[in-house]
Amino acid sequence: MWWLLVSLPPLAGALAYGRAPFFAWAGAGVVWLGAFAWAAAWPVALGAVVMLAWLALCAVFLAPSLRRSLVTAPIFKAFRSALPSMSQTEKDALEAGSVWWEGDLFGGSPDWKKLQAYPWPKLSAEEQVFLDHDTSELCRLTDDWESTRQQDMPKEVWDFIKQRGFLGMIIPKEYGGKGFSAFAHSQVVTKLSTRSSAPAVSVMVPNSLGPAELLLHYGTPEQKQHYLPRLARGEDIPAFALTSPWAGSDAASIPDAGVICKGQWQGREVLGMRVSFDKRYITLAPVCTVFGLAFRLFDPEHLLGETEDLGITCALVPHDHPGVDIGRRHFPLNAIWMNGPVRGSDVFMPLEFIIGGPKMAGQGWRMLMECLAAGRSISLPGSNTGMQKLTARAVGAYARVRYQFKTAIGRFEGVEEALTRIGANTYLSDAARIMTAGSIDLGEKPSVVSAIVKYHITERARQTVNDGMDVIGGKGICLGPQNFLGRAYQQIPVGITVEGANILTRSLILFGQGAIRCHPYVLDEMHAAQQNDMERFDEAFWGHIGYTVSSAARAMVMGLPGSHFVSVSADVAPETRRYYQQLTRFSAAFSFLADISMGTMGGALKRKEKLSARLGDILSLMYLASATLRRYEAEGRQAVDAPLMHWAIWDCMFKAQNAFEGVIANFPNKLFAMLLRRLVVFPLGRPYVVPSDRLGHEVARCLIEPSATRDRLTADVYLPTDLEEPVAALEAALQATVECELIEAKLKLAQKQGRFKPGLMVGGDVDEIWRRALQEGIISDAEFAQIERRNMLRDKVIRVDDFPFDLGLKDVVADTAHIKAAA
């Protein structure tokens, strides 16, 4: 049977790539079999029978009608019976958006030249001015702790947001908006998030999935002309009401419903809808003037047509429309930004409220799915990267300024571990954020990639902020104006929860949607089966077989020599070449593993969420590694930044390797599992280990000393100048600490040589030693002045807030002015 096994790859390859190769392989098979028969001394008759059998088999596959009737037909029948039924909402969700770079990674043969050809996003001159001036000024006006007293941003901040066009960044200039790129939108959200979540969320929501974007894509000319200029000027504040108490992550099952009917509107009878709805978690709802509303629309009296269940519909509703109950609020982990419920019972609305007019009734879910990718690629990736940048900048400085055991805490290896993760995760997250925002500006709607960056950047932000809290210790757990990280720590779970809960995103969406959208054949097979198109299915199925065999062969051929001979098409940095080779091999192995998983488990794979999640991890980590490599090239292969890149890539590859192992170890078919491990995925064992301690030390060092690397890593972090603000004090204290280290070394040397004996320090004055050193001539007056300034800044950095014990929260915040004056 060896001859049959050897012939299958060329046979599948012929079917996948056309008839001409098929004829070549068929002829080669005859020659090979003849040679084998001669070498094995077969009787002529036996050899002739074998070759005739081979040619007959080839003929079956060569003749489309024979192949379809004898081979494809029973497979087609089985495939159709096994394919689960799919609702229109499921189809809309699966088919929404576009496939981008993740398609190359899923396909098993990534074209690195194509990756390097993607333009790295840049701001226009107008966008840069807006970021440097308007956004910085909004940051300056924002006082997160002071806003806590009001439980809202001050009126002057709201007015600034409206007047400077922050609410209309995505609205074209023809309607009075900014017409900014997706990258500019992302940059603004990222910078605001380094200051406070209140302006960041208040700005990002109107520019994300909501009324403005839906109107731009689907609104009638009248709706656009009325609403878009008002939204751009801030005269209208929008919200979008989707989530209900009974439909969170499963948003398509919303029970909110409307019925087509006639009713009174502006003094006359019109055709409209009577809608009942109960929504919660709606950002900006308490202050909005107009909100988008998603509900299922029914037409039992057939006033619009023959269909009764029209489907999910999106309408635009004024906040003061009769019957709307709005204005109460939630407190999402005590965040300042507005969020609350929206309710209504039997609220009559004219059909003109439907976004796009009556013809778009029932098209709401498709509209939402098609627009989801842009907002999900920008909002949470931007805000959570901003939190990471602030953490890297401020905690790195704190670790150099704060001393324990006569040593900067950033020098301790335990703290180094946390700083390393902070630095590398920030570098990687920013790379993925920028590259994904750039894809939106290229015209893509990357549904799978947007889920990848939403999930992984928010998870890495959780790790980063947790690590930051570990480093700053007691400073981080006492809330007050001097705590630069506590509020971010409180609100990290919000990003984990919204726009698709992370647990469900990982276990159901990343691979579940990715396998169908990114695979070159699966969606075609599904469409062919649903449309009962045997000819189309035949072409897709045999292409799929050839693709699977090719992926297995490529993974084996690349894996056996450790991928050292894998060619990399792009001109890449020599220090990164091995990463491209290993990613190419991982891509081929993943492609085959995904096919085998779908082929052996079929629809059951959807229920094996742990396996599906690990497969999604592999695809995601390859994407994150790709973005990191692209960033390194785009920024000019900065050698001093290389430790950040290396650690991030090693971390991705190690985790991807573990995900491979997790799939194989839990594969239902143990024979397949053994073959996958030994022949395809790990023929030479597992190549990656955790990133080295030496590399981690280099990454941590990037955070605790002023440098161009630190500035690039934390670019666009808002840096105040008032030394009473904790981040400003940290910046000044870091510089002063570095400048005083030579003076400290001078004092230690004098003590070691016996030239200076400070004696017993009494009174709790930790700085008395410096006054004695000055008196004894160990340091100069100028050096003492430097030390005094350093000590003053150090004390500002390490102080925490305290309040009268019997004050309530509002009184505590109001007492801040007294505390600042005392300080």
In the three-class reduction of DSSP (H, G, I as helix; E, B as strand; rest coil), residue 213 is classed as helix
Residue 523: exposed, middle, or buried by beta-carbon count in 10 A (0-12, 13-18, 19+)? middle
Q: State the DSSP code for 351.
A: G
Q: How many helices (H) and strands (E) does the chain have?
A: 37, 9
In the three-class reduction of DSSP (H, G, I as helix; E, B as strand; rest coil), residue 293 is classed as strand
In the block, tokens 């990639």 appear at 449
Task: Tell me how far apart the alpha carbons of residues 53 and 26 are, in angstroms, rounded to a whole number.
Answer: 12
Q: Three-state SS across 103-160?
A: HHHHHCCCCHHHHHHCCCCCCCHHHHHHHHHHHHHHHHHCCHHHHHHHCCCCHHHHHH
Cβ-Cβ contacts under 8 Å for 309 (sequence gap 6 or more): 296, 298
Q: Which of 720, 733, 721 is nearest to 792 (CA)?
A: 733
Task: Tell me how far apart the alpha carbons of residues 210 and 227 are, in angstroms, rounded to a whole number.
Answer: 13
Task: Tell me how far apart the alpha carbons of residues 208 and 204 are, in angstroms, rounded to a whole number.
Answer: 6
Q: Which of 278, 398, 291 is nearest to 345 (CA)?
A: 278
Annotate 677-725 with DSSP letters as a single string: IIIII-TT-----PPPHHHHHHHHHHHHS--HHHHHHTTT------TTS
Q: Which of 508, 501, 684, 693 is nearest to 582 (CA)?
A: 684
H-state helical runs in 608-676: 609-634, 642-665, 670-675
Query: 270: which 2 tokens?
Result: 């019109």
Task: Tell me how far apart the alpha carbons of residues 629 and 622 are, in angstroms, rounded to a whole number.
Answer: 11
> 295, 350 in Cβ contact below 8 A?
no
Query: 183: which 2 tokens?
Result: 């990258």
Active site residue 744: no
- Sign of the alpha-carbon torsion through 112, 114, 115, 119: positive
The CA distances from residue 654 to 163, 617, 648, 699, in Å, are 48, 12, 10, 18
Query: To the nearest 10°, the Cα dihedral for 215, 219, 221, 222?
Result: -90
- Residue 728 main-chain phi, psi, to 5 deg: -65, -45
Task: Tell me how far apart the alpha carbons of residues 12 and 552 are, in angstroms, rounded to a whole number.
Answer: 12
Please identify which of the residues 127, 499, 698, 731 carries the catalytic annotation.
499
Task: Tell me how far apart the alpha carbons of residues 674 and 52 are, in angstroms, rounded to a whole number.
Answer: 36
β-pairing, 324-326 with 309-318? unpaired
Task: Tell me how far apart the alpha carbons of residues 716 and 728 are, in angstroms, rounded to a whole number.
Answer: 14
Task: Tell me how far apart the alpha carbons of residues 298 and 465 are, in angstroms, rounded to a whole number.
Answer: 47
Task: Tell me how far apart the alpha carbons of residues 253 and 820 are, in angstroms, rounded to a whole number.
Answer: 51
> 627, 428 in Cβ contact below 8 A?
yes
292: which strand partners? 240, 316
The CA distances from residue 527 to 97, 453, 522, in Å, are 17, 28, 9
Which amino acid, residue 517? R
Q: How far is CA 785 from the centre of its chain?
A: 48
Task: Tell me how far apart the alpha carbons of residues 114 and 103 are, in angstroms, rounded to a whole number.
Answer: 12
| Catalytic site positions | 499
